[in-house]
Amino acid sequence: MPIIRFLALPALVVLAGLAVAQDSPPPKHLRVSSGVANSLKIHDAQPHYPREARERGIQGDVILQATIDTKGNLVNLKAVQGDPILVEAAVDAVKKWRYRPYILNGEPVDVDTTIKIQFHL
């Protein structure tokens, strides 16, 4: 009988934890992959290759981080990698992008994602 009591206590603790987890509200902010974010995109604009970058042979990728808000707009857009000349062109284009909101449990939530823009000659 003592062994059953010994095993019953951890089982009750686990069940209590599950009950609390089910009662907690869903998160209001998530992180999603660039692939998931791309599947939500409803409008995009291609960046213009800056003339100065083209003349100087500058190419490469620009990595941006952004939040897609509950209305599908990009907010908190910031560059994390890339040549400054290319970053400006990438940000100008990406600011025009629009998304469908990400839905979790029937409710729109903000999602953070990464955006990669490629500039190659």
Query: Domains in the chain and their CATH numbers?
Result: 26-119 (3.30.2420.10)
The Cα 19–Cα 13 span in angstroms is 10
Confidence band, pLDDT 50/70/90 cuts, at residue 26: low
Are 95 and 46 a contacting pair, CB within 8 Å? no
Tokens standing for 55? 């003349």
Between the two ends of the chain, the Cα-to-Cα distance in Å is 76
The C-alpha atoms of residue 110 and residue 35 are separated, in whole angstroms, by 16
Q: What is the pLDDT of residues 38-60, one digit of tens each?
A: 999 999 999 999 999 999 999 99
| Mean pLDDT score across all residues of the chain | 86
pLDDT at 28: 73
Pick from 84, 39, 40: which is nearest to 62 by CA? 84
**Distance (Å) of CA 11 to CA 3, 8, 14, 115:** 13, 5, 5, 44
**Rounded (5°) CA angle 55-58-62:** 135
